[in-house]
Amino acid sequence: MHMTGASPCILALDSGGTKTLLLVVDRNANIVSARRGAGSNPFDQPRWREVLAELLADIPPHVAGAAFGLAGYGESVTITARQDAAVHEILGPAADRCIVRNDVEMACAGAFAGAPGVLILSGTGSMAWATDETGRNLRVGGWGPLFGDEGSAFWIGREALSLLTQALDGRDGNAHPFIAPMCRFMNLPTSPASAGAALLEWYGGLSHERSAVAALAHGVCEMAMDGNEQARHILDRAARHLARHVTVARRGLSRPGLPWSHTGGTFNNLYLRQAMTRLCGQPQPPRLPPIGGGILRAARQAGWATDAQWIDHMASALKEMKL
Protein backbone atom coordinates (compact mmCIF):
# COMPACT_ATOMS: atom_id res chain seq x y z
CA MET A 1 0.00 0.00 0.00
CA HIS A 2 2.67 2.48 -1.05
CA MET A 3 1.86 5.89 -2.50
CA THR A 4 4.24 7.96 -4.55
CA GLY A 5 4.33 11.73 -4.82
CA ALA A 6 3.44 14.31 -2.20
CA SER A 7 -0.35 14.01 -2.24
CA PRO A 8 -1.68 14.26 1.33
CA CYS A 9 -3.86 11.41 2.52
CA ILE A 10 -5.56 10.15 5.67
CA LEU A 11 -5.71 6.70 7.25
CA ALA A 12 -8.76 5.11 8.84
CA LEU A 13 -8.73 1.75 10.57
CA ASP A 14 -11.64 -0.28 11.90
CA SER A 15 -10.64 -3.17 14.16
CA GLY A 16 -13.16 -5.85 15.08
CA GLY A 17 -13.35 -9.30 16.55
CA THR A 18 -13.34 -11.13 13.21
CA LYS A 19 -11.81 -8.66 10.71
CA THR A 20 -9.79 -5.45 10.48
CA LEU A 21 -10.02 -2.87 7.68
CA LEU A 22 -7.57 -0.10 6.76
CA LEU A 23 -8.40 2.60 4.18
CA VAL A 24 -6.28 5.33 2.62
CA VAL A 25 -8.40 8.32 1.50
CA ASP A 26 -7.46 11.49 -0.36
CA ARG A 27 -8.68 15.06 0.15
CA ASN A 28 -11.50 14.57 -2.40
CA ALA A 29 -13.00 11.62 -0.49
CA ASN A 30 -11.64 9.06 -2.93
CA ILE A 31 -10.52 5.69 -1.58
CA VAL A 32 -6.93 5.35 -2.70
CA SER A 33 -6.26 1.95 -1.16
CA ALA A 34 -7.92 -0.69 1.02
CA ARG A 35 -6.35 -3.45 3.02
CA ARG A 36 -8.07 -6.18 5.04
CA GLY A 37 -6.79 -8.38 7.83
CA ALA A 38 -7.91 -10.82 10.50
CA GLY A 39 -9.60 -9.83 13.74
CA SER A 40 -7.54 -7.72 16.14
CA ASN A 41 -9.47 -7.68 19.41
CA PRO A 42 -6.73 -8.10 22.06
CA PHE A 43 -9.15 -9.82 24.43
CA ASP A 44 -9.34 -12.94 22.27
CA GLN A 45 -6.89 -12.54 19.37
CA PRO A 46 -3.30 -13.26 20.49
CA ARG A 47 -1.91 -11.94 17.18
CA TRP A 48 -3.71 -8.60 17.35
CA ARG A 49 -0.48 -6.57 17.25
CA GLU A 50 0.86 -8.53 14.28
CA VAL A 51 -2.40 -7.95 12.41
CA LEU A 52 -2.09 -4.18 12.91
CA ALA A 53 1.60 -4.20 11.97
CA GLU A 54 0.94 -6.12 8.75
CA LEU A 55 -1.89 -3.78 7.72
CA LEU A 56 0.13 -0.65 8.48
CA ALA A 57 3.34 -1.79 6.82
CA ASP A 58 4.60 0.59 4.11
CA ILE A 59 2.05 3.32 4.86
CA PRO A 60 1.96 6.38 2.58
CA PRO A 61 4.65 8.96 3.34
CA HIS A 62 2.34 11.98 3.55
CA VAL A 63 -0.25 11.15 6.21
CA ALA A 64 -2.14 14.30 7.15
CA GLY A 65 -4.29 12.57 9.76
CA ALA A 66 -5.30 9.15 11.01
CA ALA A 67 -8.07 7.72 13.16
CA PHE A 68 -8.19 4.17 14.45
CA GLY A 69 -11.23 2.49 15.99
CA LEU A 70 -9.75 -0.38 17.97
CA ALA A 71 -11.75 -3.24 19.46
CA GLY A 72 -11.40 -3.29 23.23
CA TYR A 73 -9.86 0.18 23.42
CA GLY A 74 -10.62 1.96 26.69
CA GLU A 75 -11.96 -1.19 28.34
CA SER A 76 -8.83 -2.16 30.29
CA VAL A 77 -6.10 0.22 31.40
CA THR A 78 -3.43 -2.41 30.77
CA ILE A 79 -4.64 -3.47 27.33
CA THR A 80 -5.32 0.12 26.23
CA ALA A 81 -1.74 1.04 27.16
CA ARG A 82 -0.50 -1.86 25.03
CA GLN A 83 -2.64 -0.71 22.11
CA ASP A 84 -1.34 2.87 22.42
CA ALA A 85 2.23 1.59 22.55
CA ALA A 86 1.68 -0.61 19.50
CA VAL A 87 0.24 2.27 17.46
CA HIS A 88 3.21 4.50 18.34
CA GLU A 89 5.74 1.77 17.57
CA ILE A 90 4.13 0.85 14.23
CA LEU A 91 3.37 4.36 12.96
CA GLY A 92 6.44 6.12 14.28
CA PRO A 93 6.24 9.93 13.88
CA ALA A 94 2.83 9.64 12.14
CA ALA A 95 1.35 8.48 15.48
CA ASP A 96 1.31 12.13 16.60
CA ARG A 97 -1.40 12.76 14.00
CA CYS A 98 -3.45 9.66 14.93
CA ILE A 99 -6.62 9.58 17.03
CA VAL A 100 -7.32 6.24 18.73
CA ARG A 101 -10.76 5.43 20.10
CA ASN A 102 -12.99 2.42 20.77
CA ASP A 103 -14.27 0.87 17.54
CA VAL A 104 -17.92 1.36 18.50
CA GLU A 105 -17.37 5.05 19.29
CA MET A 106 -15.89 5.47 15.81
CA ALA A 107 -18.77 3.51 14.28
CA CYS A 108 -21.27 5.80 16.04
CA ALA A 109 -19.53 8.85 14.59
CA GLY A 110 -19.88 7.28 11.16
CA ALA A 111 -23.49 6.18 11.50
CA PHE A 112 -24.67 9.69 12.39
CA ALA A 113 -21.89 11.62 10.58
CA GLY A 114 -20.97 13.23 13.88
CA ALA A 115 -24.56 14.10 14.86
CA PRO A 116 -26.30 12.87 18.07
CA GLY A 117 -27.64 9.33 18.21
CA VAL A 118 -27.45 5.85 19.69
CA LEU A 119 -25.64 3.15 17.74
CA ILE A 120 -26.29 -0.45 18.71
CA LEU A 121 -23.76 -3.01 17.57
CA SER A 122 -24.52 -6.69 17.20
CA GLY A 123 -21.61 -8.49 15.65
CA THR A 124 -19.43 -11.07 17.37
CA GLY A 125 -20.15 -9.02 20.51
CA SER A 126 -22.75 -6.39 21.39
CA MET A 127 -22.55 -2.84 22.67
CA ALA A 128 -24.24 0.55 22.37
CA TRP A 129 -22.61 3.96 22.08
CA ALA A 130 -24.59 7.18 22.41
CA THR A 131 -23.71 10.83 21.84
CA ASP A 132 -25.89 13.88 22.49
CA GLU A 133 -25.80 17.39 21.04
CA THR A 134 -23.47 18.63 23.79
CA GLY A 135 -20.85 16.00 22.97
CA ARG A 136 -21.54 13.80 25.99
CA ASN A 137 -20.89 10.11 25.37
CA LEU A 138 -22.36 7.04 27.01
CA ARG A 139 -21.46 3.42 26.56
CA VAL A 140 -23.80 0.53 27.40
CA GLY A 141 -22.82 -3.15 27.32
CA GLY A 142 -19.69 -4.39 25.63
CA TRP A 143 -18.71 -6.59 28.57
CA GLY A 144 -17.53 -9.52 26.45
CA PRO A 145 -18.76 -13.12 26.17
CA LEU A 146 -18.05 -14.11 29.76
CA PHE A 147 -20.06 -11.31 31.35
CA GLY A 148 -22.57 -10.32 28.70
CA ASP A 149 -22.65 -9.61 24.94
CA GLU A 150 -26.39 -10.23 25.06
CA GLY A 151 -28.03 -10.14 21.65
CA SER A 152 -24.72 -10.59 19.82
CA ALA A 153 -23.94 -13.22 17.22
CA PHE A 154 -22.02 -15.17 19.86
CA TRP A 155 -24.97 -14.97 22.26
CA ILE A 156 -27.37 -16.14 19.53
CA GLY A 157 -25.07 -19.03 18.62
CA ARG A 158 -24.65 -20.05 22.25
CA GLU A 159 -28.42 -19.97 22.81
CA ALA A 160 -28.88 -22.11 19.69
CA LEU A 161 -26.39 -24.68 20.98
CA SER A 162 -28.09 -24.75 24.35
CA LEU A 163 -31.49 -25.30 22.76
CA LEU A 164 -30.09 -27.96 20.42
CA THR A 165 -28.61 -29.99 23.28
CA GLN A 166 -31.84 -29.72 25.27
CA ALA A 167 -33.79 -30.91 22.27
CA LEU A 168 -31.39 -33.80 21.66
CA ASP A 169 -31.47 -35.19 25.19
CA GLY A 170 -35.20 -34.60 25.74
CA ARG A 171 -35.10 -31.74 28.25
CA ASP A 172 -37.09 -29.59 25.83
CA GLY A 173 -39.53 -31.74 23.92
CA ASN A 174 -41.05 -28.70 22.20
CA ALA A 175 -37.74 -27.88 20.53
CA HIS A 176 -37.64 -31.02 18.35
CA PRO A 177 -38.35 -28.99 15.13
CA PHE A 178 -35.12 -27.09 15.79
CA ILE A 179 -32.88 -30.17 15.50
CA ALA A 180 -32.89 -30.94 11.79
CA PRO A 181 -32.41 -27.43 10.35
CA MET A 182 -29.76 -26.50 12.91
CA CYS A 183 -27.87 -29.72 12.31
CA ARG A 184 -28.03 -29.22 8.56
CA PHE A 185 -26.52 -25.76 8.93
CA MET A 186 -23.71 -27.21 11.06
CA ASN A 187 -23.18 -30.14 8.65
CA LEU A 188 -24.12 -32.62 11.37
CA PRO A 189 -26.34 -35.71 11.05
CA THR A 190 -29.98 -34.72 11.43
CA SER A 191 -30.88 -37.91 13.29
CA PRO A 192 -31.05 -37.23 17.06
CA ALA A 193 -29.37 -40.60 17.66
CA SER A 194 -26.26 -39.49 15.75
CA ALA A 195 -26.28 -35.72 16.17
CA GLY A 196 -25.13 -35.65 19.81
CA ALA A 197 -21.83 -37.43 19.22
CA ALA A 198 -21.22 -35.41 16.04
CA LEU A 199 -21.86 -32.17 17.95
CA LEU A 200 -19.22 -33.07 20.52
CA GLU A 201 -16.77 -33.88 17.71
CA TRP A 202 -17.52 -30.45 16.21
CA TYR A 203 -16.83 -28.83 19.56
CA GLY A 204 -13.59 -30.74 20.07
CA GLY A 205 -12.25 -29.56 16.73
CA LEU A 206 -12.75 -25.82 17.26
CA SER A 207 -9.67 -23.65 16.92
CA HIS A 208 -11.36 -20.36 17.89
CA GLU A 209 -14.45 -21.05 19.94
CA ARG A 210 -15.94 -17.54 20.02
CA SER A 211 -15.81 -17.04 16.25
CA ALA A 212 -17.20 -20.51 15.53
CA VAL A 213 -20.14 -20.06 17.90
CA ALA A 214 -20.85 -16.56 16.55
CA ALA A 215 -20.97 -17.96 13.01
CA LEU A 216 -23.94 -20.12 14.02
CA ALA A 217 -26.06 -16.96 14.26
CA HIS A 218 -26.28 -17.00 10.45
CA GLY A 219 -28.08 -20.32 10.63
CA VAL A 220 -30.48 -19.13 13.33
CA CYS A 221 -31.27 -16.02 11.25
CA GLU A 222 -31.95 -18.12 8.15
CA MET A 223 -34.18 -20.45 10.14
CA ALA A 224 -36.12 -17.51 11.57
CA MET A 225 -36.78 -16.20 8.06
CA ASP A 226 -37.98 -19.68 7.09
CA GLY A 227 -40.50 -19.54 9.92
CA ASN A 228 -38.85 -21.79 12.52
CA GLU A 229 -40.52 -20.82 15.81
CA GLN A 230 -37.59 -21.76 18.03
CA ALA A 231 -35.19 -19.62 15.97
CA ARG A 232 -37.63 -16.73 16.04
CA HIS A 233 -37.90 -17.02 19.80
CA ILE A 234 -34.10 -16.74 20.10
CA LEU A 235 -34.06 -13.63 17.88
CA ASP A 236 -36.99 -12.09 19.76
CA ARG A 237 -35.01 -12.42 22.98
CA ALA A 238 -31.91 -11.03 21.26
CA ALA A 239 -33.94 -8.01 20.12
CA ARG A 240 -35.18 -7.38 23.67
CA HIS A 241 -31.61 -7.44 24.99
CA LEU A 242 -30.41 -5.06 22.26
CA ALA A 243 -33.39 -2.75 22.73
CA ARG A 244 -32.56 -2.51 26.42
CA HIS A 245 -29.14 -1.11 25.44
CA VAL A 246 -30.86 1.64 23.43
CA THR A 247 -33.36 2.42 26.20
CA VAL A 248 -30.65 2.68 28.86
CA ALA A 249 -28.49 4.91 26.62
CA ARG A 250 -31.40 7.27 25.94
CA ARG A 251 -32.25 7.41 29.62
CA GLY A 252 -28.64 7.90 30.66
CA LEU A 253 -28.32 10.99 28.46
CA SER A 254 -31.85 12.18 29.32
CA ARG A 255 -32.69 12.12 25.62
CA PRO A 256 -35.69 9.78 25.19
CA GLY A 257 -36.08 10.76 21.53
CA LEU A 258 -32.46 10.22 20.55
CA PRO A 259 -32.40 8.52 17.11
CA TRP A 260 -30.94 5.06 16.91
CA SER A 261 -29.10 3.16 14.24
CA HIS A 262 -27.42 -0.22 13.98
CA THR A 263 -24.30 -1.94 12.77
CA GLY A 264 -22.88 -5.45 12.76
CA GLY A 265 -23.59 -8.55 10.71
CA THR A 266 -26.49 -9.73 12.86
CA PHE A 267 -28.56 -6.77 11.68
CA ASN A 268 -28.42 -8.07 8.11
CA ASN A 269 -31.37 -10.22 9.18
CA LEU A 270 -34.76 -8.67 8.42
CA TYR A 271 -36.54 -10.51 11.24
CA LEU A 272 -34.20 -9.05 13.87
CA ARG A 273 -34.46 -5.53 12.41
CA GLN A 274 -38.25 -5.71 12.44
CA ALA A 275 -38.26 -6.93 16.05
CA MET A 276 -35.98 -4.04 17.05
CA THR A 277 -38.17 -1.52 15.21
CA ARG A 278 -41.21 -2.67 17.16
CA LEU A 279 -39.31 -2.09 20.41
CA CYS A 280 -37.30 1.09 19.66
CA GLY A 281 -39.09 2.80 16.79
CA GLN A 282 -37.91 3.28 13.24
CA PRO A 283 -34.11 3.26 12.99
CA GLN A 284 -32.09 5.86 11.13
CA PRO A 285 -30.13 4.22 8.31
CA PRO A 286 -26.38 4.48 9.00
CA ARG A 287 -24.98 7.54 7.20
CA LEU A 288 -21.62 5.80 6.87
CA PRO A 289 -20.42 2.29 7.77
CA PRO A 290 -18.16 1.84 10.83
CA ILE A 291 -14.96 2.72 8.94
CA GLY A 292 -16.63 6.00 7.99
CA GLY A 293 -16.33 7.32 11.53
CA GLY A 294 -12.58 6.89 11.34
CA ILE A 295 -12.48 8.63 7.96
CA LEU A 296 -14.41 11.64 9.29
CA ARG A 297 -12.26 11.91 12.42
CA ALA A 298 -9.05 11.60 10.39
CA ALA A 299 -10.19 14.20 7.85
CA ARG A 300 -11.04 16.66 10.58
CA GLN A 301 -7.74 15.88 12.31
CA ALA A 302 -6.06 16.85 9.04
CA GLY A 303 -8.05 20.08 8.87
CA TRP A 304 -9.97 19.05 5.76
CA ALA A 305 -13.48 20.35 5.08
CA THR A 306 -16.05 17.57 5.42
CA ASP A 307 -19.31 19.12 4.28
CA ALA A 308 -22.44 17.22 3.23
CA GLN A 309 -21.20 16.85 -0.35
CA TRP A 310 -17.88 15.37 0.87
CA ILE A 311 -19.73 12.91 3.11
CA ASP A 312 -22.11 11.95 0.26
CA HIS A 313 -19.15 11.23 -2.00
CA MET A 314 -17.51 9.18 0.74
CA ALA A 315 -20.70 7.20 1.35
CA SER A 316 -21.00 6.40 -2.38
CA ALA A 317 -17.37 5.29 -2.59
CA LEU A 318 -17.73 3.03 0.44
CA LYS A 319 -20.97 1.53 -0.91
CA GLU A 320 -19.39 0.88 -4.29
CA MET A 321 -16.59 -1.05 -2.59
CA LYS A 322 -19.16 -2.89 -0.41
CA LEU A 323 -17.50 -1.70 2.79
Tens digit of pLDDT for each residue in 102-155? 999 999 999 999 999 999 999 999 999 999 999 999 999 999 899 989 999 999
- Integer Cα distance of 85 and 68 in angstroms: 13
Q: For the chain, give the mean pLDDT.
A: 94
Phi, psi of 54 (to 5 degrees): -65, -40
Domains of the chain: 9-113+289-320 (3.30.420.40), 114-286 (3.30.420.40)
Q: Stretch 201-209: mean pLDDT, rounded?
A: 93
Residue pair 106/297 in contact by the 8 Å Cβ criterion? yes
> What residues have CB less than 8 Å from 216, skipping those under 6 apart?
156, 157, 160, 161, 185, 186
**pLDDT level of residue 6 (50, 70, 90 thresholds):** low
Q: Which of 249, 275, 271, 274 is nearest to 260 (CA)?
A: 249
pTM here?
0.88
